[in-house]
Structure 1
């Protein structure tokens, strides 16, 4: 079954807009189970029940509420949630380009693949190649479903990936944990121990090949399921859904747009410099405080 885009939109930086499709970049392969009553093998239901009346509550009557103090709630209307999200629901607007090394692993949340729309290949390749050449990644925001995420656009082989990032407040500071500070000498690690550990590490060194690593727990569990199937028998049917149409666009004069973007940046060099200077301390602060900025996605 062909993968379906989460949405069709644009990837924007300066005055350039590249039509793209946002596609999932991960496959969830967990085995899913249904709860059953051991006495008669009937499925166990999870019902939405009113705590006062004991009656089931229809979905249309369910609202979201925020607990602002113990036992006290304020009810939110659908428009409150909609208004909180960015208006640019189908735009990845790159706000800055930063060095890839500044984004520490603690900030990385989830991968997506960006696929160019029809006639958008040139702009796609232009951004991909300039990111490869400079070692930079694009930092921007994206709305998926009703939640806004910080995100990073980076090249991988022939593709552009969109990585969702966590905001700084979602990353636990390393300072909160009792982690040994200082070098090897402070902890009385001898040169001989360092030498032996280095030799061991080098003897185990190899290239990373993802195909070498299997989910062995899943394989054993699958074997157990197959064994049970021979005893009981089971079938299931999955309906396939049609793929959404691709985004389209007209031919774009990239040279003209690039020139205009650069001219626009040149109109306020002092402002751009000030903004860059104001961001610099925040970059250095992050330990896993690197540079910035995540949940239920597709």
Structure 2
């Protein structure tokens, strides 16, 4: 357990009349390779945006609402306030529902672990619960609300620390029905005694003590080795993050391009139309002759838009 880790959540473990003040700490970390997206033509960073799928334009977070699709193409919009009213029980508690044998919970249900540490002089009661779970071989099945979402969880002793392992709900785990599996029990395939003996012997020879440090992400290490090799060889690229002002200017250019495209589609009709429409460009040219500075500033804008 990493010392000095930030407390993510403060609350209490409750069962019966027992109340143990505790805090949650991250017990896992993502160590995979994190690649950034780059435009191979210019080495500009490619970002992630909230985009309206119909218009293709980016929208602000304030304009996004939560919708539940109850039928194909039909949604119900639900506000955060309505969600809070519908389920107000966001008390900071790890509420143990029952205790079960540790062997009864399949690994399939376990999802994300958190360390649980006592706070506010709850150490003695914390130790009592931890040691009782070890002695009885039980784990606590609890419900907890974290970040407005309710989770099923298993409270498991692991050496000196209690671990709260968030679990998948029962309806989130798919049944194994429909898989082409060999039968078990009396209908199982007949396995010769010699085959079972050799298989057992092989398992015993490959058995050992669980040491998590012995298992490493070989893919990550291979990629990092390649990265180091390219850095030493000078095979690198410089990526300049655009400033916010440049990003906003780019958005204006995109909008302008769209407007120009629309204008070009209707340009032929206007050119062959009334003489009044043809007279407007002439008026602009006349005013340009009388105002030389306006002509100088207009030309660069036209080249930029093109």
- TM-score higher than 0.5 here? yes
Bigger helix share: 2
8 Å contact 1:86–1:143 — kept in the other structure?
no
Aligned counterpart, 2:80: 78
Q: How does 1:1-298 map to 2 (within 5 A)?
A: 2-85=4-87, 87-183=89-185, 186-230=188-232, 231=234, 232=236
Q: How far, CA to CA, are the matches of 2:69 and 2:205 in structure 1? A: 55
Structure 1 residues 198 and 90: CA distance shift in structure 2, 3 A: same
CA deviation after TM superposition for structure 1 residue 228, in Å: 2.7
Which has more radius of gyration? Answer: 2
Structure 1 residues 233 and 42: CA distance shift in structure 2, 3 A: closer
CA deviation after TM superposition for structure 1 residue 167, in Å: 1.0
Q: How far, CA to CA, are the matches of 1:85 and 1:228 in structure 2? A: 54
SS of corresponding position for 2:177: helix
Structure 1 residues 38 and 67: CA distance shift in structure 2, 3 A: same
TM value normalised by structure 2? 0.72
Instruction: List runs of 5+ in structure 2 lacking aligned partners.
Output: 240-306
Aligned counterpart, 1:256: none
CA deviation after TM superposition for structure 1 residue 106, in Å: 1.3
CA deviation after TM superposition for structure 1 residue 49, in Å: 2.4
RMSD: 2.1
Between 1:187-196 and 1:129-138, the stretch displaced more is 187-196
Larger relative contact order (CA 8 Å, sep ≥ 6) = 1
TM value normalised by structure 1? 0.73
8 Å contact 1:19–1:116 — kept in the other structure?
yes
Instruction: List runs of 5+ in structure 1 lacking aligned partners.
Output: 236-298
Deviations 1:170-229 (A, max 9, x none): 111122322111248842321111111112222212111111111111111111122233
SS of corresponding position for 1:114: strand
CA deviation after TM superposition for structure 1 residue 84, in Å: 4.5
Q: How many equivalent pairs are there?
A: 235
Structure 1 residues 233 and 166: CA distance shift in structure 2, 3 A: same
CA deviation after TM superposition for structure 1 residue 35, in Å: 0.5
